[in-house]
Amino acid sequence: MADMEKVRSIMPLTRAMCMYGTSDKEKFYCAYPEYQALRPDTTFFSDFCVADVYGEKAIKDTYKRCFNGWKENVKYFTELVAALNHQLWFWYEAGVEEYAKLYDKLWKEADAYGTEHFKGDDAKHFFSVLD
């Protein structure tokens, strides 16, 4: 299990709240509507940021709920895979090996599902966003 004091010192809860809440980023999207299409439609990134604070069990539970709830929606599922990949690299660079390995496992599972499951225009969206 990851050293929770190290996790909490690297990734405070305020980071999760600021990433997709009302912030300068939100004001940016309002001021520049042409970038609105780049804004995520889900809260997956912040959901995992919050789960990180509570440990591996919370990360797995968040993943299970996101995966099962959105595996048929290519746009949302693509954002899930991107969020998992982002968290994988964040924790790898921070040196928290337990979290990096967990996110790597979850990312590989979700990516494999998307690769095998989505066809046609859905596959085009999945690969174009994640490539």
Burial pattern 74-91, b for ≥16 Cβ within 10 A else e, equals bebbbbbbbbbbbbbebb
What is the phi-psi region of residue 95: left when phi exceeds 0, alpha when psi lies from -120 to 50, beta otherwise? Answer: left
Written as six digits, the tokens of 17 are: 């709240």
What is the C-alpha separation between 99 and 114, in angstroms, rounded? Answer: 22
Question: pLDDT band for position 16 (50/70/90)?
Answer: very low
Distances in Å between the Cα of 66 and the Cα atoms of 35, 42, 61 are 25, 10, 9
Segment among 8-12, 13-17, 46-50, 53-57 with least mean pLDDT: 13-17
What is the C-alpha separation between 44 and 49, in angstroms, rounded? Answer: 9
Residue 63 CB partners (closer than 8 Å, separation 6+): 48, 84, 106, 110
What is the C-alpha separation between 83 and 42, in angstroms, rounded? Answer: 10
What single letter denotes the amino acid at residue 9?
S
Which pLDDT tens digit goes with each residue over 80-126?
999 999 999 999 998 999 999 999 999 999 999 999 999 999 999 89
Question: pTM (2 decimals)?
Answer: 0.77
pLDDT at 8 over 80: no
DSSP state of 31: H
Which pLDDT tens digit goes with each residue over 17-51?
445 454 555 554 555 555 555 567 788 888 998 89
